[in-house]
Structures are given as C-alpha cells and as structure tokens.
Amino acid sequence: MDGFEIRNPRFRALVLPNAPLETLGTGYRWLEGPVWFADQDCLYVSDLPNDRVLRWSEAGGLSVFQQPSGFANGHARDRQGRLLTCSHRDRAVTRIEFDAAVTVLASHFDGKRLNAPNDIVCKSDGTIWFSDPVYGISTDYEGGKQPPQLPSALYRLDPASGELRVAAADFVNPNGLAFSPDERLLYVAETGDQFDEASPRFIRRFAVRDDGALSGGECFHRVEPGNADGFRVDEQGNLWSSAADGVHCISPDGELLGKILTPSLVSNLCFGGRNRSRLFVCASHTLMAIYTNTRGCVRP
Ligand code: MG
C-alpha cells in the first residue's frame, strides 16, 4: 500500500488503498486549526503567519474567509454551531455570533493575560477546553513577541456562567487536545519548550469526571518523528495525530497502528466531508485530504 506505513494489520481496515492523498491547495505559510462545518459543506483553516483564515469547499475551492484574523490558530464549533477561535495576537478565545459580532470568551485568568490560546475543543455539555502555551507570544512569526504573564496551562471555560478554570497546570506547553468518544478521557499533547530539544513531547491521557475535574495525565503515546501538535479521535477511539512524517493512527491502548505518509510535516488535521470520513490534513504549507475507512467522532 503506497503512501501508508502499516505497523499493525488492524490499520488496513481503517484506510483505503485506492484513495489518494490529494492536494487541495499549496503555497500557504503555515496551516493550522482546521474545523469542518458539515452544514456548510466546508472547512475553515488558519494560515497562521499570514494572519488569515481560509475557507475550502469542494465546489468553491479555497478562498480567504477572514484577514486579519488576530493570528488565529485552533478552531472548534460550540454546541450551537458557532465558530470558536484561539487568537494568538489577541491572546484570547473568541466566538463569532450569528450576526457576525465577535465575542471575547476568555482573555484573562486571575487578572493576568492569557498567553496565546492554541487549540480548542467543545464538550457535549457546552464547556470549552483550550490549551494556552507560550508559542504564539514567543516569536513575531505567529502573533507577536510579548512577555508571558501566566504559566502555560490547560483551561476549561463554562460559557454559561463565564467561569474559567485551570483544568491542568503541570505542563511545559500543552497543545492539541481531544476527548474520547464517550468523553471519559481527554488526550492532551504536551509539546515542550520549542528551544529545548530535551523538554517533554508526548500525548498525555486524563480521566474526566462528570464535574469536569481531571485526574491521571500519564504519558499515553510518544509520537516519533516530530511530535503530536493537533489530533482527532475517530468513532472507534483511535487517535489520528500529526507527526513530522505524516498522520499517525494510534489505538486507544496507545499502540501505533500505522501512518499516512505526507511529503511535509503535519501540524494538525480534522475529519470532515461526507460522513466525517475524509481527513483534512494541514501539511505545513499545503492543505491535503484523504478519504479513510473510519469516521471522525461526532464532536469535532
Ligand atoms: Mg497546535
């Protein structure tokens, strides 16, 4: 099977040998934060250093949706279908309302500014979970160099009450995150200090209580080569993670099942398209897509 690396025979049932890895567009600076809008049959994706968000659809191809975008990174939809955005420049999590007004949902914790919210997910109870590493404010390339006021952390926001809570604090830069299909587990990438090769880089797994409290946080899987930036979970609970050589599929017990190989490093991805079976891949400067034989978890 060209273009795949099979580590466990179970991987064969999850991919399609006759589905090509397609290039949807190239020449972007650095793609990140893809989110699928099934009702609009389109994808939104950040072209981060270009300070813009792109829109892709099968019929319309790629166009600019938002520029400037506040150096948008991660995206998600809330339970009402509104677009949630992590903004590096504004150091905030925002929401686009149905009348196109932008609401700042979180910009400070404990009276201090957030660092640069990076990736985001909305749980079925409406709570919004996001990572807040320092990457977006440690260079001018992805939003602007500014001093951090807070340690990096994982946050849980209840938009109903406005309560912002630190969900987990013992991180050297949390990054991508995703719940298991039953939401009993939360996977969070820890991607370490970008200027220190020796700092921790692995996916951690937390148990999630009904009240949203986390426990555990042990190492679930170490992606090699590169690291797990963003990832998504399929209906069977497999993780589809970014890596330096493509997309890695990791079983719920932490085993690497196989890889979809890409010509350039992958930063993030999401399921979308018909039945959520198409994987949209941010491969550095190129937006790629491939049909799989699995389906993304209903919650994006
Ligand atoms: Mg990220």
Other C-beta atoms closer than 10 Å to the C-beta of 45 total 29
The answer to whether position 220 is within a domain reads yes
The answer to whether position 75 is within a domain reads yes
The answer to whether position 298 is within a domain reads no
Give distance in angstroms: CA of 193 to centre of ligand 1. 13
Domain that holds residue 140: 4-291
pLDDT 10s digit of each residue in the chain, 300 long? 789 999 999 999 999 999 999 999 999 999 999 999 999 999 999 999 999 999 999 999 999 999 999 999 999 999 999 999 999 999 999 999 999 999 999 999 999 999 999 999 999 999 999 999 999 999 999 999 999 999 999 999 999 999 999 999 999 999 999 999 999 999 999 998 888 877 779 999 999 999 999 999 999 999 999 999 999 999 999 999 999 999 999 999 999 999 999 999 999 999 999 899 999 999 999 999 999 999 999 865
Q: Given this model, what pLDDT does residue 168 score?
A: 97
Closest to 159 in 3D by CA, of 62, 78, 238, 258: 78
Give distance in angstroms: CA of 118 to centre of ligand 1. 5
The answer to whether position 297 is within a domain reads no
Q: Given this model, what pLDDT does residue 299 score?
A: 64
Contact 265/244 with Cβ under 8 angstroms? yes
Give distance in angstroms: CA of 228 to centre of ligand 1. 9
The pTM score is 0.96
Q: How far is the C-alpha of 64 from the C-alpha of 238, rounded, in Å? A: 32
Contacts of 212 (CB under 8 A, 6+ apart): 127, 156, 165, 167
Q: Given this model, what pLDDT does residue 33 score?
A: 98
Q: Given this model, what pLDDT does residue 194 score?
A: 81
Q: How far is the C-alpha of 85 from the C-alpha of 93, rounded, in Å? A: 6
Q: How far is the C-alpha of 163 from the C-alpha of 244, rounded, in Å? A: 37
Give distance in angstroms: CA of 58 to centre of ligand 1. 25
Q: Given this model, what pLDDT does residue 32 score?
A: 98
Cα 150 off chain centre by: 22
Contact 239/268 with Cβ under 8 angstroms? no
Closest to 294 in 3D by CA, of 276, 281, 274: 276
Give distance in angstroms: CA of 177 to centre of ligand 1. 9
Q: How far is the C-alpha of 118 from the C-alpha of 228, rounded, in Å? A: 13
Q: How far is the C-alpha of 157 from the C-alpha of 66, rounded, in Å? A: 25
The phi and psi torsions of 159 (rounded to 5 degrees) equal -70, -20
**CA neighbours closer than 13 Å in the CB half-sphere of residue 229:** 28
Q: How far is the C-alpha of 224 from the C-alpha of 99, rounded, in Å? A: 44
The answer to whether position 299 is within a domain reads no
Q: Is 58 helix (H, G, I), strand (E, B) or coil?
A: coil
The answer to whether position 300 is within a domain reads no
At 223, list the tokens: 């992606």
The answer to whether position 227 is within a domain reads yes
CA torsion 217→259→251→126, rounded to 10°? 60
Closest to 286 in 3D by CA, of 12, 54, 15: 54
At 54, list the tokens: 């792109």
Give distance in angstroms: CA of 18 to centre of ligand 1. 30
Closest to 208 in 3D by CA, of 173, 168, 249, 158: 168
Give distance in angstroms: CA of 266 to centre of ligand 1. 11
Q: Given this model, what pLDDT does residue 2 score?
A: 86
Q: How far is the C-alpha of 122 from the C-alpha of 129, rounded, in Å? A: 6
Give distance in angstroms: CA of 86 to centre of ligand 1. 10
DSSP structure string for 213-251? -EEEEEEEE--SSS---SEEEBTTS-EEEEETTEEEEE-
User: Of all helices (H) and strands (E), which one includes residue 185?
Assistant: strand 185-190
CATH number for the domain including 272?
Answer: 2.120.10.30
Give distance in angstroms: CA of 175 to centre of ligand 1. 5
Give distance in angstroms: CA of 206 to centre of ligand 1. 18
Looking at the structure of the chain, the number of domains it has is 1
Contacts of 10 (CB under 8 A, 6+ apart): 251, 257
Give distance in angstroms: CA of 85 to centre of ligand 1. 12
User: Of all helices (H) and strands (E), which one includes residue 43?
Assistant: strand 42-47
